[in-house]
């Protein structure tokens, strides 16, 4: 059994601050982090190994700096990690990204479950998991909230949809994307951190993973970003301060006017 986790390094956008004078986003010192949803995928891979045996592998596509999140995965207990990095991958949309990941996964080989977070915090598309499954020609189960059992060639799991859970059985290998409620991610151990420091993280370029040149990077990306801008925030409304009682009255009157009180 081999469990492969796909992780992404993302800018820590949630801490973004806007300079009140220039209205620009202050980027200074904003660190890159592991996509928060990917911790659940890493944790679930570790639990699969603990429950059913096997090995765990983490892969990431990105610049050389993305090695940091792979080392972090190793510190959490992942056995081996590979970084997919090449100028030729720049400008990849989700189709090219998922193709690149699929080529690396084929090279690693002998996999049973591929795990992804439900989406990445920066792009928030959630498309790479399902597209990856298509490139690998294996089933995909999105929004998995529980893994019930894994046998030689079958996965039993529970997935979340808008208003219900489904219990599913899938043949292996398969791709799953996981939601938060699947587990509680662990913290790295001291031993893990030492291991992560010493580990070698091989860097694979396009020539290492083969495949069709035209499906990589910008050439392999049907979508193109043509414009990017900062959204305008609606202008300020009425701001009221005062005694709690007055304030409650202001809200009450507003609710009354809106027909809610």
Q: Which of residues 14-53 bind another protein (CB under 8 A)?
A: 14, 16, 19, 22, 24-28, 30, 32
From residue 64 to residue 103, what is the string marking binding to another protein with x (rule CB under 8 A)? xx-------------------x-x--xx-xxx--x-----
Between 109 and 229, CB nearer to another protein: 229
Q: Provide long-range contacts, Cβ within 8 A and 24+ apart, for 122-129.
A: 122/8, 122/10, 122/11, 122/13, 122/35, 123/94, 125/94, 126/177, 127/94, 127/98, 128/6, 128/94, 128/97, 128/98, 128/101, 129/6, 129/98, 129/175, 129/176, 129/177
Instruction: Identify the CA nearest to 5 among candidates 77, 53, 99.
Output: 77
Question: Would you give the distance in Å from CA 191 to the centre of its chain?
Answer: 25
CA distances from 199 to 44, 121, 126, 256 (A): 21, 27, 30, 64
Between 42 and 140, CB nearer to another protein: 140
Between 172 and 199, CB nearer to another protein: 172
202-261: contacts with another protein (CB under 8 A)? 218-219, 221-231, 233-234, 236-242, 244-245, 247-252, 254-255, 258, 260-261
DSSP state for residue 195 in the 8-state scheme: H
Between 110 and 162, CB nearer to another protein: 162
Between 57 and 68, CB nearer to another protein: 68
Give min distance, CB of 124 to another protein, in A. 6
Kindly state whether residue 171 participates in binding another protein, applying the rule CB under 8 A: yes
Q: Tokens 């209205």 identify what position?
A: 23
Instruction: Identify the CA nearest to 124 among candidates 153, 94, 80.
Output: 94
Among 139, 193, 199, 208, the residue binding another protein under the rule CB under 8 A is 139
Between 15 and 50, CB nearer to another protein: 15
Those residues whose C-beta lies under 8 Å from the C-beta of residue 236, and which sit 6 or more positions away, are: none
Among 107, 108, 130, 203, the residue binding another protein under the rule CB under 8 A is 130
From 47-55, 68-76, 116-124, 195-203, span contacting another protein (CB under 8 A): 116-124
Kindly state whether residue 187 participates in binding another protein, applying the rule CB under 8 A: no
Among 39, 131, 196, 216, the residue binding another protein under the rule CB under 8 A is 131
């Amino acid at each position: 059994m081999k469990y492969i986790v796909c992780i992404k390094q993302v800018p820590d956008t949630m801490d973004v601050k806007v300079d009140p004078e220039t209205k620009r986003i202050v980027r200074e010192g904003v660190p890159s982090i592991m996509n928060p949803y990917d911790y659940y995928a890493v944790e679930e891979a570790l639990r699969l190994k603990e429950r059913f045996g096997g090995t765990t592998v983490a892969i990431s596509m990105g610049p050389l700096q993305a090695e940091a999140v792979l080392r972090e995965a190793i510190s959490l207990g992942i056995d081996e990690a590979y970084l997919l990095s090449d100028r030729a991958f720049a400008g990849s949309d989700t189709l090219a990204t998922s193709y690149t990941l699929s080529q690396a996964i084929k090279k690693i080989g002998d996999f049973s479950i591929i795990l992804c977070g439900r989406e990445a915090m920066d792009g928030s598309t959630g498309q790479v998991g399902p597209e990856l499954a298509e490139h690998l020609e294996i089933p995909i189960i999105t929004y998995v909230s529980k893994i019930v059992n894994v046998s030689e060639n079958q996965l039993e799991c529970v997935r979340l949809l808008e208003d219900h859970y489904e219990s599913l059985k899938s043949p292996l290998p398969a791709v799953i994307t996981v939601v938060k409620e699947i587990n509680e991610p662990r913290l790295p151990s001291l031993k893990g951190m030492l291991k992560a420091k010493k580990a070698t993280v091989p860097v694979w370029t396009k020539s290492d993973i083969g495949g069709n040149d035209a499906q990589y990077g910008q050439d392999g990306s049907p979508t193109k970003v043509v414009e990017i801008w900062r959204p305008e925030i609606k202008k300020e409304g009425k701001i009221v301060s005062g005694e709690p009682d007055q304030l409650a009255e202001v809200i009450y009157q507003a609710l009354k006017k809106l027909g809610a009180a």
